Structure 1
Amino acid sequence: MVQEYQSPVRVYKHPFELIMAAYVRRFPKSPLIPVFVDSEIVNETQSKDGSTVVTERRCMIDIEAPRLLKRIAGVDYLYFLQKNTLNHRDRTLHIEVRNETFSNRVIVYESCNYTVHPENEDWTCFEQTASLDIKSFFGFENSAEKIAMKQYASSIKKGKEMIEYYLRELEDEGVTYIPHWTPPVAPAAPRSIARPIPESSAQTGPDSTDADADAGADAEIVPGSPDDKLDADYIRRYLGDLTPLQESCLIRLRQWLQETHKGKIPKDQHVLRFLRARDFNMDKAREFLCQSLTWRKQHQVDFLLDTWERPQLLQDYYTGGWHHHDREGRPLYILRLGQMDTKGLVRALGEEGLLRQVLSINEEGLRRCEENTRVFGRPISCWTCLVDLEGLNMRHLWRPGVKALLRIIEVVEANYPETLGRLLILRAPRVSPLIDENTRKKFLVYAGNDYKDPGGLVDYIDNEIIPDFLRGDCMCDIPEGGVVPKSLYRTAEELESEENRLLTDSIYKCASIFKGAPYEMLIEITEASSVITWDFDVCKGDVHFNIYHSKRVPQPPKKDTLGAHGITSPGAVNAQMIDRNWVLGQDYSMVEKALICKEGESGSHVTRWPGCYILQWRFHSSPACSASSLPRVDDVLASLQVSSHKCKIMYYTEGSMTSLQSSHSGFSQLSAATTSSSQSHASSTVSR
C-alpha cells in the first residue's frame, strides 16, 4: 500500500536568494542533521545564460533503525539520489529525492519546492510531499513503515531548524541581502560553477530595517480561497499541534474538497473535527464529512442563526444558555436540566422545535469557538457544558421526551463531532458507577454538593463566574424554567403532522428511481424564452438525465399501473409523465442531449416553445451488467427488488426569476463531493 504524506506550506519571511544561500550551506553534510552522513555531486549542468542550474547528488543516510534490522538487511547506510533544479530567473528550487538502496523492495519518493510567496516577493514558501511504497522488506514491512514515518517527521522539523540556523549564521557574517539574478549583458564563456554563494556577492540592503521585519512578523496568511495553501504557522495558531501524518490528512482532504466541491468549502477547523472523529482515516472521514455537508445543505443549516427566530416559549421555559468560558478558554454552556419541563416543551413545541433549538446552540458554539481562538491566541475547537440536575424526577423520563432526546443526540453526533470538550454534571443522582472509565475522562459527575470541594468545579471554572444558583457570585441570565401551561400544548394531530419535518419538509423533495421505472417531473411553460435550471447529485449508480418537450399535457398514471407481464412494478409509485404509447419525434421531443451522470450535473435550458417540459431521470445499467443474450423474465423481476437497482434523488423548486442571468442556482452545491453521502439531490427551476 502506498503511503502519502504532505507537509503544510512553510513560509520564511526572507527573500528567495537569501534562503538559497542558507540552503547550500547544508552540503556536503551538516552537524544539525547527524543522520545525513555525507553527500557528493555526481553531475552538474547549467543553461547557457546561467539562469538554470541542475545538480545531482548521491547522499548517504544513517537511518535510525534497530541493529537487528540493519544486520538482516546487510547495510549500515542508505543511499539516496537527489536532483535539484534551481531556476534563478523564476526564483524556484525543485528538489526530487529517490532511494537507491533497496529500490527493488521499497520505493521512496520525495518532492520539495522553494518558491516566492504569491503575495510578498520578499518571502519564500517551502512545500514538501513524500510517498512510500514498501513491496517487501524481509517480513519487517510494518516496522520499516514506522521508521520511515519517524524519519519523515524528523526531516520536516530539522529542515526548518537548519534553514533558520544558517540564516542566523549569514546575518552574523553581515549577509542580510542578496540581489536578484540578472541575465548577463553578453554571452558568458564556459566556466565552472561556484557551489556556495561567496560572501563578496552579498550586501546589506538599505531597506532591511527592524520596522520592516516587525511588519513582516505581524502579517499572516489567512486561508479561505480555493487557491490558497495551509501555512505551518497558521496550523499551530488556529488548529493546534498536529503530527505530520495528521497535517497531511488535513491538507489532502482539504484539497479534495477544493477539487470536487462546487462552492464555499468548509473551514479547516470543521474538516479537522471530522478527521479526529475517525482517527484521521481519510476514507471514513471523507464519507462522514460529505454526509454532513449534504445534510447541512438540505436543511440550510448554514443560515440557521440568521433566519430562525426562537419562539417565545423557548425564551421563557428553556433553561439553558451561554455563560462566559472555562479556565481553558472554552465557551461554557449551562443547562439546568432538572428545572426544565421537558414533557411540556415537547408537547408544546414538538420534536422539530427542540431540534432546531439544539442545532442553533451548536452553531452558536462553533461561532464562539472561533471568537475565543482569536481572543486567547490559541486553538479552541470545542466547548464545555455544565448540566445541573437538581430537581430531576420521573417527569423527565417521559417516553416521547426520551425518544426526542435520543434523536437529537443522533443528529448532533452525526454533524457536530468533537465539539464537546468536557461535560460537567452537577447534583446528579448516585449513578456515576454505571459510567465506564473512558466516558468519565470527558464526563465529570458530582453528586450532592461535592462539586464545591477541592478537585471539583473550581478546577475547571473560575470562582468569579460560578453562577449564582450554584452559590456563586456571578449572575447567570438563564430562565428559571417552570411548568409549561397545558393551554400551550399542541394536539396529537399537530405533533404527528410535524414529526420528522427536519428530515422531509425542507426545500428538497425526495424520490426513488428503480430500474425500468424513471422519475419524471413536469414543468409547464406559458411563454417562450423561459429558463429551466437544474442541479442534482448522484450518490449510487449511474443515471440518464433527459429533458423532453410536449405540446400535450401528460395524464397522471393510474394507481393500478402494472409493469411488464402483469406484475406491479416497484417503480409504479413514481410520477411518470410520458405515456408509454407516445412516440418520440411525434408526441414529444428531446430538447437536451441525454447525459449519463455518475456524480451529478448542473445546467440551464432556455425554452423555445411554450408547453410541457419533462425532466427525466432513469436508472442506467453499467456495461458490466449487460449480456449478449436476453435474461429470463424471473431474473429481471428479481433484479428490480435489489438495492443495487435503485437510486434516490431529491429535487428542489427555487421559484420564478426574471432573466437568464439570475437563473443560476444560488445555493451551495456538493456535486462529486456528495457521491460518498447517503443522499443525492436534484433541483429544477423555472423563470420567465
Structure 2
Amino acid sequence: SAAMVQEYQSPVRVYKHPFELIMAAYVRRFPRSHLIPVFVDSEVLKETQSQDGATLVTERRCVIDIEAPRLLKRIAGVDYLYFLQKNTLNRRERTLRIEVHNETFSNRVVVRECCNYTVHPENEDWTCFEQTASLDMKSFFGFESTAEKLAMKQYASSIKKGKEMIEYYLKELEEEGVTYIPRWTPPVDPGAARLQPPPCSAARAAPLSAAEAGQDGKEAAGPSEPAAGSPDDKLDADYIRRYLGDLTPLQESCLIRLRQWLQETHKGKIPKDQHVLRFLRARDFNLDKAREFLCQSLTWRKQHQVDFLLDTWQRPQLLQDHYTGGWHHHDRDGRPLYILRLGQMDTKGLVRASGEEGLLRQVLSINEEGLRQCEENTRVFGRPISCWTCLVDLEGLNMRHLWRPGVKALLRIIEVVEANYPETLGRLLILRAPRVFPVLWTLVSPLIDENTRKKFLVYAGNDYQGPGGLVDYIDKEIIPDFLGGDCMCDIPEGGLVPKSLYRTAEELESEENRLLTDSIYKSASIFKGAPYEMLIEINEASSVITWDFDVSKGDVIFHLYHSRRAPQPPKKDTLGAHGLASPGAANAQVIDRNWVLGQDYSMVEKALTCREGESVQGSHVTRWPGFYILQWRFHSSPACSASSLPGVDDVLASLQVSSHKCKMMYYTEVLASHDFRGSMTSLGSSHSGFSQLSAATTSSSQSHASSTVSR
C-alpha cells in the first residue's frame, strides 16, 4: 500500500538570548552528549567556510541507537542507524539551518528533518527555533506501522530534548562566566584604516537568566505575557502553553498545519486558535477528519451569519421573560457557569410562541457568549479555559416537558450544537432529577457524543447538598438562592407562556432566513365531507403512535382506525358531479369508500371531539402490526340538524365554503417499542401529571392509550 508522507511542524520556540550565545550552547552537544544517550557518536565528514568566514557549512555522520524493540532490530539486522546532517551557519545573517536525513534503509524509509535558528523579528537579542520533519515509509519488513510509531516518538522526544540541551548548556556557559559573545564582524580590509564600530545593540550584555527578562510569570501583563501574534503569525510555544494548554508535539503539529491550511484556503473569518483546537480534540487530532468537521461548521456559520449573531440579534421579550437560563459567575476551575432551570421552563409554550427557530437562535447566542466567556476567563485566570460548566435544575419537571414536539426541538437543537460547538461543555450537573427523568434521558442520550456524555453528573432529590455534591464543583458563595445558597441569581422565574402569544403553523413556517429546513408542525385543512386522513404503517406490535394537534378554526372529531390490509391509493377523479373541484380535493382519502367499519377496518380509539382553540396530545400503544389511520373530521354543530328543512342560514352557509373548513396544526411520530424501554409504564403512571395540566383527560382503557385536551 502506498503510504502517505507524514509531515510535522513545530511551533516557534523563543529563547530570550542572543543568537551567538545559543550557537555556543548548541555546538556543545557534539560529538556526543550525556544528555542524549541515543546519540551514540558523530564525526565531521567535511567542513567548508566562505572566504570572509561569514558562512560555515559542516557535514556530519551521526550514529543513533534507536529505541526500538529488540525483535525489530534483529529483523532489520542493524543495531545503529546512520543519519547525515548538514549544518549551514550564516554569521552575517545570524541563522543556522540544520538538514538531516537517514542513510540507513534510505530505500525503504525517508526521514527528513529541517531546523532553523533565526533572530526574533521584534527583538534582535532573542532567538527563534523551528523544526519541521517528514516521514515517507515505503516498506519496512512488514512492520511499517510500528516503525512509523517509533519515528513519531523519536520526533516528539527530539523536540523536547533539543530544548533541554540548549537550556542545560546555556547554564553551563553561565557557570563558566560566559554570558555574552560579540557578534561576527567582517574581517578588516588592511587598506581601510578605520575600524568598524560594533553594532550598537551588541554592547548590551544578554540578560543572565530568564527571571531578569521578566519571565517569572508573576506579573500578569508583564513582558512574560506571550503576545498572540508571534513571528509571521506563527504559533509560538509559550503562547500555546499559556492560551491553549499543554499539547504534545504531534498535537501542536496538527494545530499548526490545520491553521496554515485555513489561512491559505479559507475565505472569510478564521476561527480563533482555541476554537480550531476544539475540532481537533473532537476528532482525536486526526487532521483530515478534523478539517472536514471544521469546514462543515464554517460553511454553516457563513450560511447563517452566525459570526454576527451576538451583535445583530435582539433577544425577544418573550425569551427574556420565559427562558429560564443565564450565565452565573464561574465554577471552581474558572470555567464560565451557565444555569438552566429546565423544570421551571414552559418548553411547549416557548416552542409554540417563539418557534423552533427562535429557540435555536437563543441557544446559539448562549453558545457564542460561552466562547467569548472562555476567552475572557483565559485572560483573567492566566491559564487556558476552553469549556464551560452547565448546571441544569430539574425541579418542577413534569409530563409537559415530555411533550414530543418539545423533545424533538430539543434534539434538533442538541444536534446543531454538537456539530458546531464541539468540546465546549466541560461538565453538566443535573440537579433534583425527578422520576420522569430517565424517560427524557432515554430519548436524548443517543444523540449526544459519547465524550460529552461522560461529563454528565446526575443528582436526584437533595443529593446535591453537602460534601460530594455541588460544593465540589462550585464555590459555596455563589450557590444560587433557589438551590439553598446565599447568592442572588437573576435568572427569570419562567412560568407558563400565555396562549395569546402562540403562533400558527403558517407564521412559524413563513419565517425569514431559517436555520432549519423543515418545521416540526404540519398544517392541515379539514372540509365538510372531506376529512383529513393520515396513514401510518406499523411493522411491530407495541410500537407507540403519538400525536399532538391544535385546532385553530372550527371543531374537529378525531378518530384512530386500524386495518390489516393496505388501503388503495385514491383514483385521480377529484372533479365533483358538476365538473367543479370538490372542496376536499386537497385531502386525499385513505379509507376506501367501499370499506365497512368493523369488517375492513376497526376503530381503536374512542372518537374525541376537539373544539376551536384546544390543544390535544395523546399516544396509542399498537396491539397489532398493520395500517393505522389517523382521521380528523369536520364537526358540524347539532343545531342545524334539528329541523329537517334547510333553513336560510344553512343555504347561505353552504355557499360560503369557508365555514365548512376547519384548520389545525399537527405533529405525529412513531416510537419503536425498544426505544421506549419500559418508559411507557412511567408515562402511564404520570397521568396525574397530565391531569394537572389539562382541563379534561380522556383515556380508553381497552387500548392503553390516552389523549389529553388542554384549553
TM-score between the two structures when normalised by the length of structure 2: 0.66
The SS at the match of 1:227 is helix
For the pair 1:124 / 2:123, whether they are aligned, the reply is no
Task: Let me know the Cα RMSD of the aligned residues.
Answer: 2.3
For the pair 1:316 / 2:321, whether they are aligned, the reply is yes
Instruction: Give the AA of the match of 1:406.
Output: L
2:431, 2:460 within 8 Å by CA — same for their partners in 1? Answer: yes
For the pair 1:491 / 2:498, whether they are aligned, the reply is no
Q: 1:438 to 1:4 in 2, by over 3 A?
A: closer
Partner of 2:16: 13
The SS at the match of 2:267 is coil
For the pair 1:179 / 2:178, whether they are aligned, the reply is no
Deviates more, 1:256-265 or 1:324-333: 256-265
2:315, 2:362 within 8 Å by CA — same for their partners in 1? Answer: yes
Partner of 2:536: none
Partner of 1:407: 412
- State which of 71, 76, 84 in structure 2 corresponds to 1:73: 76
For the pair 1:455 / 2:454, whether they are aligned, the reply is no
Partner of 2:430: 425
For the pair 1:213 / 2:212, whether they are aligned, the reply is yes
Q: 1:391 to 1:242 in 2, by over 3 A?
A: same
Deviates more, 1:473-482 or 1:392-401: 392-401
Instruction: Give the AA of the match of 1:150.
Output: K
2:120, 2:231 within 8 Å by CA — same for their partners in 1? Answer: no
Q: Choose 1 or 2 for highest CA Rg.
A: 2
The SS at the match of 2:386 is coil
Instruction: Give the AA of the match of 1:34.
Output: P
Identity of aligned residues (%): 87
Partner of 2:688: none
Q: Measure the CA separation in 2 of the matches of 1:243 and 1:7.
A: 10
- State which of 101, 106, 118 in structure 2 corresponds to 1:98: 101
CA drift of 1:211 comes to 10
Partner of 1:389: 394
Partner of 1:398: 403
CA drift of 1:186 comes to 2.5
- State which of 241, 256, 261 in structure 2 corresponds to 1:256: 261
Q: Measure the CA separation in 2 of the matches of 1:335 and 1:414.
A: 21
For the pair 1:145 / 2:144, whether they are aligned, the reply is no
The SS at the match of 2:147 is helix
CA-to-aligned-CA distance 1:127-157 (integer Å, 9 cap, x gap): 0011111211112111111111111111111
Instruction: Give the AA of the match of 1:297.
Output: K
Q: Measure the CA separation in 2 of the matches of 1:225 and 1:67.
A: 43
Partner of 1:511: none
1:115, 1:124 within 8 Å by CA — same for their partners in 2? Answer: yes
1:352, 1:499 within 8 Å by CA — same for their partners in 2? Answer: no
Q: Measure the CA separation in 2 of the matches of 1:470 and 1:312.
A: 26
For the pair 1:154 / 2:157, whether they are aligned, the reply is yes
2:326, 2:339 within 8 Å by CA — same for their partners in 1? Answer: yes
CA drift of 1:481 comes to 0.6
Deviates more, 1:353-362 or 1:225-234: 225-234
2:8, 2:134 within 8 Å by CA — same for their partners in 1? Answer: yes
Partner of 2:695: none
Alignment of 1:428-439 (within 5 A): 428-430=433-435
1:348, 1:488 within 8 Å by CA — same for their partners in 2? Answer: yes
CA-to-aligned-CA distance 1:82-111 (integer Å, 9 cap, x gap): 000000111110000001111111111100
Q: Measure the CA separation in 1 of the matches of 2:419 and 2:205.
A: 57
Partner of 1:163: 166
- Residue-pair matches, total: 491
1:108, 1:132 within 8 Å by CA — same for their partners in 2? Answer: yes
CA drift of 1:266 comes to 1.5
The SS at the match of 1:498 is coil
1:337, 1:388 within 8 Å by CA — same for their partners in 2? Answer: yes
Partner of 2:341: 336
CA drift of 1:492 comes to 2.5
Q: 1:266 to 1:495 in 2, by over 3 A?
A: same
1:7, 1:244 within 8 Å by CA — same for their partners in 2? Answer: yes
2:35, 2:165 within 8 Å by CA — same for their partners in 1? Answer: yes
Partner of 2:246: 241
CA-to-aligned-CA distance 1:488-523 (integer Å, 9 cap, x gap): 122232112128712579xxxxxxxxxxxxxxxxxx
CA-to-aligned-CA distance 1:536-583 (integer Å, 9 cap, x gap): xxxxxxxxxxxxxxxxxxxxxxxxxxxxxxxxxxxxxxxxxxxxxxxx
Partner of 2:364: 359
Partner of 2:86: 83
CA drift of 1:73 comes to 1.3
Q: Measure the CA separation in 2 of the matches of 1:72 and 1:326.
A: 55
- State which of 28, 50, 55 in structure 1 corresponds to 2:31: 28
Partner of 1:370: 375
The SS at the match of 1:306 is helix
Q: 1:164 to 1:95 in 2, by over 3 A?
A: same
Partner of 2:310: 305
Q: Measure the CA separation in 1 of the matches of 2:242 and 2:352.
A: 46
The SS at the match of 2:297 is helix
1:176, 1:205 within 8 Å by CA — same for their partners in 2? Answer: no
Q: Measure the CA separation in 1 of the matches of 2:167 and 2:43.
A: 24
1:467, 1:473 within 8 Å by CA — same for their partners in 2? Answer: yes
1:320, 1:478 within 8 Å by CA — same for their partners in 2? Answer: yes
Instruction: Give the AA of the match of 2:187.
Output: P
Partner of 1:346: 351
Q: Measure the CA separation in 1 of the matches of 2:334 and 2:397.
A: 29
Instruction: Give the AA of the match of 1:284.
Output: K
Instruction: Give the AA of the match of 1:417.
Output: P
1:175, 1:204 within 8 Å by CA — same for their partners in 2? Answer: no
Deviates more, 1:291-300 or 1:160-169: 291-300
The SS at the match of 1:424 is strand
Q: Measure the CA separation in 1 of the matches of 2:451 and 2:61.
A: 50
CA drift of 1:454 comes to 2.9
The SS at the match of 2:385 is coil
Deviates more, 1:145-154 or 1:54-63: 145-154
Q: Measure the CA separation in 1 of the matches of 2:184 and 2:117.
A: 16
CA drift of 1:223 comes to 3.3
CA-to-aligned-CA distance 1:267-304 (integer Å, 9 cap, x gap): 11011011111111111111111121122122221121
CA drift of 1:440 comes to 5.2
2:180, 2:206 within 8 Å by CA — same for their partners in 1? Answer: no
CA drift of 1:385 comes to 0.5
2:327, 2:336 within 8 Å by CA — same for their partners in 1? Answer: yes
Q: Give unpaired runs (5+ residues) of structure 1.
A: 189-202, 506-688
Q: Measure the CA separation in 2 of the matches of 1:54 and 1:303.
A: 54
Alignment of 1:470-481 (within 5 A): 470-481=483-494
Q: Give unpaired runs (5+ residues) of structure 2.
A: 192-201, 217-222, 519-711
CA-to-aligned-CA distance 1:11-49 (integer Å, 9 cap, x gap): 101111110010001100111111111111000001111
Instruction: Give the AA of the match of 1:326.
Output: D
Q: 1:471 to 1:8 in 2, by over 3 A?
A: same
CA-to-aligned-CA distance 1:239-263 (integer Å, 9 cap, x gap): 1111111111100010111111234
CA drift of 1:485 comes to 1.0
1:223, 1:229 within 8 Å by CA — same for their partners in 2? Answer: no
Instruction: Give the AA of the match of 1:109.
Output: R
For the pair 1:222 / 2:235, whether they are aligned, the reply is no
Instruction: Give the AA of the match of 1:120.
Output: N
Q: Measure the CA separation in 2 of the matches of 1:408 and 1:357.
A: 10
Q: 1:212 to 1:148 in 2, by over 3 A?
A: closer
Q: Measure the CA separation in 2 of the matches of 1:266 and 1:410.
A: 20
The SS at the match of 2:46 is strand
CA-to-aligned-CA distance 1:437-467 (integer Å, 9 cap, x gap): 9665211011111111432222111111111
2:230, 2:236 within 8 Å by CA — same for their partners in 1? Answer: no
Partner of 1:292: 297
Q: Measure the CA separation in 1 of the matches of 2:82 and 2:231.
A: 39
1:99, 1:109 within 8 Å by CA — same for their partners in 2? Answer: yes
The SS at the match of 1:214 is coil
1:49, 1:183 within 8 Å by CA — same for their partners in 2? Answer: yes
